[in-house]
C-alpha cells in the first residue's frame, strides 16, 4: 500500500521545542515554494496509485484552502483510503474543515502537545484546552471525526499533576488516535540548545528529568490503555481500526513518495531525501537541479529497527544479530517467541540502545 507525503514547512510561530526545518518564513518564499511543490508533483512518475496521503511540515492547515485543493488534485488515487492534514489548534474554522473534506482529507492531526496554559505559553503555542474542545466538536460536525491529538512528555515545568490533567482532557475529548512523544533535547531546537548550554531561556532549567519523562510516558501508556486506546508503535496509540495507515507504512517499509522540503521517499530498495529547508528547495528549482540532495540504498538493518518499533514486533530471521538479541533478552529489553521479537516495556524506554545495533 503506497503513500504520498507533502511537506509545507511554514508556521505562524516557531515553537521552542521544534527541531524541524520549519517556522515563520517570508510570504514571497512561500509563493515560490508552492510553485516548486506543484512542479515537483507534476513531474513525478507514479509507479503505483497512492492509497494514503499525509500533509505535514510545518503547518499545512495554514495553507490557503483553494491552493491546497489545487495541490491535492495533482495527486492520483482520490478518494484515498486515508488522507491526513497536520494542524495548529487555534486556527481551525468550519470553512477550512469543509474545504479539506471536499479536497479528499479524511483525517486531522492536532498538534496540541499540552492542555496546560503555562506549558503552552512557554512553547509558543497559541491555543487553550477549551479551544481544542470547540475545534474537535466542529470537526465532528463537519464529518471529520477521525482525528489525532499529539502530546509531548517533558515540556518545561511539566509535573505529574499537570501531565495527569492533560491526560484527563484526552479522556474528555475521546480521540480515536493519540501520539505521545518524549521531548527530544538536541541542538536543532531553541529549547534543546538552551538546555545543552545550561541556559535559562524557554524554561530550560525546568525541563523534567529523564526519569520523570519516562514516568509520564508510562502513565500515558497505562491511562490510554484503560480508555481502549492501545499502543501500536512506540509513540502512537489508537482505538482498534484507527491506527494511522500512512504512518504504518514507514515501519512496514511500504513505498512512499515525498514532495517538498526535507521530504523523504522510499521505493522498496532506495531512499532519497529532498533539500532540507524551503529556501534550499526553491533554490534548487531556480538552478534547474533535482530536488533530492541525498540518495542511498536502504540499510540492511533498517527492517529490524523499524519493525521493532511496532507493539507486535516483527517476524524475521534474527541469525545475523543472534549475539545482540541474546544480550537484549538477558537485559530484559527484548522478548522472542519463535521468529517473532518485540520490545519489552523496558525495551521501549531504552529503544535507542537496541536500535543502534541494527544501524
Question: From the CB of 16, what's the least distance to ligand SF4, in Å?
Answer: 9
Question: From the CB of 235, what's the least distance to ligand SF4, in Å?
Answer: 15
Q: What span, in angstroms and rounded, lies between the C-alpha atoms of 247 and 109?
A: 12
Question: Which of 178, 314 has the CB closer to ligand SF4?
Answer: 178
Question: From the CB of 111, what's the least distance to ligand SF4, in Å?
Answer: 5
Question: From the CB of 68, what's the least distance to ligand SF4, in Å?
Answer: 17
Question: Which of 37, 354 has the CB closer to ligand SF4?
Answer: 37
Within 10 Å of residue 76's Cβ, how many Cβ atoms? 12
Question: Which of 14, 98 has the CB closer to ligand SF4?
Answer: 14
Q: Any idea of the CA torsion for 127, 14, 68, 46, to the nearest 10 degrees?
A: -130
208, 318, 330 from 339: Cα distances, Å: 38, 7, 17
206 burial via Cβ count (<10 Å: 0-12, 13-18, 19+) = middle
Q: What span, in angstroms and rounded, lies between the C-alpha atoms of 107 and 127?
A: 20
Question: Which of 157, 301 has the CB closer to ligand SF4?
Answer: 157
Question: From the CB of 240, what's the least distance to ligand SF4, in Å?
Answer: 29
Q: What span, in angstroms and rounded, lies between the C-alpha atoms of 281 and 110?
A: 26
Within 10 Å of residue 47's Cβ, how many Cβ atoms? 10
Question: From the CB of 222, what's the least distance to ligand SF4, in Å?
Answer: 26
Q: Quick one: cell of 146?
A: 477521525
Question: Which of 193, 348 has the CB closer to ligand SF4?
Answer: 193
Helix (H) or strand (E) holding 64: none
Question: Which of 258, 313 has the CB closer to ligand SF4?
Answer: 258
Question: Which of 57, 154 has the CB closer to ligand SF4?
Answer: 57
**Strand, helix or coil at 206?**
helix
Secondary structure in 3-state letters for 320-340: HHHHHHHHHHHCCCEEEECCE
Burial of 78-112, coded b for 16+ CB within 10 Å and e otherwise, reads eebebbbbbbbbbebeeebbebbbebbbbbbbbbb
Question: From the CB of 24, what's the least distance to ligand SF4, in Å?
Answer: 8
Question: Which of 120, 354 has the CB closer to ligand SF4?
Answer: 120
Question: From the CB of 58, what's the least distance to ligand SF4, in Å?
Answer: 5
Does residue 223 contact residue 167 with C-beta atoms inside 8 Å? yes
Q: What span, in angstroms and rounded, lies between the C-alpha atoms of 85 and 68?
A: 10
Secondary structure in 3-state letters for 88-124: CCCCCCHHHHHHHHHCCCCEEEEEEECCCHHHHHHHC
Question: Which of 115, 328 has the CB closer to ligand SF4?
Answer: 115
Question: From the CB of 117, what's the least distance to ligand SF4, in Å?
Answer: 17
Helix (H) or strand (E) holding 137: helix 129-141
Q: Quick one: cell of 173?
A: 475529548
- Binding-site ranges for ligand SF4 (CB under 6 A): 11, 14-15, 18, 20, 22-23, 57-59, 88, 111
Amino acid at each position: 500500500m503506497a503513500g504520498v507525503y507533502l511537506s509545507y514547512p511554514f508556521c505562524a510561530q516557531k515553537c521552542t521545542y521544534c527541531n524541524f526545518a520549519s517556522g515563520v518564513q517570508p510570504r514571497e518564499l512561500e509563493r515560490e515554494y508552492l510553485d516548486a511543490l506543484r512542479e515537483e508533483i507534476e513531474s513525478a512518475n507514479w509507479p503505483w496509485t497512492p492509497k494514503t496521503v499525509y500533509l505535514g511540515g510545518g503547518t499545512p492547515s495554514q495553507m490557503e484552502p483553494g491552493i491546497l485543493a489545487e495541490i491535492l488534485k495533482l495527486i492520483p488515487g482520490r478518494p484515498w483510503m486515508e488522507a491526513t492534514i497536520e494542524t495548529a489548534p487555534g486556527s481551525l474554522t468550519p470553512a477550512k474543515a469543509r474545504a479539506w473534506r471536499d479536497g479528499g482529507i479524511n483525517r486531522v492531526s492536532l498538534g496540541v502537545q499540552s492542555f496546560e496554559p503555562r506549558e503552552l505559553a512557554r512553547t509558543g503555542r497559541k491555543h487553550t484546552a477549551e479551544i481544542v474542545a470547540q475545534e474537535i466538536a466542529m470537526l465532528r460536525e463537519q464529518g471529520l471525526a477521525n482525528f489525532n491529538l499529539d502530546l509531548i512528555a517533558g515540556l518545561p515545568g511539566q509535573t505529574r499533576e499537570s501531565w495527569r490533567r492533560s491526560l484527563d482532557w484526552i479522556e474528555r475529548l475521546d480521540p480515536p488516535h493519540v501520539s505521545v512523544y518524549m521531548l527530544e533535547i538536541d541542538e536543532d531546537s531553541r529549547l534543546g540548545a538552551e538546555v545543552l548550554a545550561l541556559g535559562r531561556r524557554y524554561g530550560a532549567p525546568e525541563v523534567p528529568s529523564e526519569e520523570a519523562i519516562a514516568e509520564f510516558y508510562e502513565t500515558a501508556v497505562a491511562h490510554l490503555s484503560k480508555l481502549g486506546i492501545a499502543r501500536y508503535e512506540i509513540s502512537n496509540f489508537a482505538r482498534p481500526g484507527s491506527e494511522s495507515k500512512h504512518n504504518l507504512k514507514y515501519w512496514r517499509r511500504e513505498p512512499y513518495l515525498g514532495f517538498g522540503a526535507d521530504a523523504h521517499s522510499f521505493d522498496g530498495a532506495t531512499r532519497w531525501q529532498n533539500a532540507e529547508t524551503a529556501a534550499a528547495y526553491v533554490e534548487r528549482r531556480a538552478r534547474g537541479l533535482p530536488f533530492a540532495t541525498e540518495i542511498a540504498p536502504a540499510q540492511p538493518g533498517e527492517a529490524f529497527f523499524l519493525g521493532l518499533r511496532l507493539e507486535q514486533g516483527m517476524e524475521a530471521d534474527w541469525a545475523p544479530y543472534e549475539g545482540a538479541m541474546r544480550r537484549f533478552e538477558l537485559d530484559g529489553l527484548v522478548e522472542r517467541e519463535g521468529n517473532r521479537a518485540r520490545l519489552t516495556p523496558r525495551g521501549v524506554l531504552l529503544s535507542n540502545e537496541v536500535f543502534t545495533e541494527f544501524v
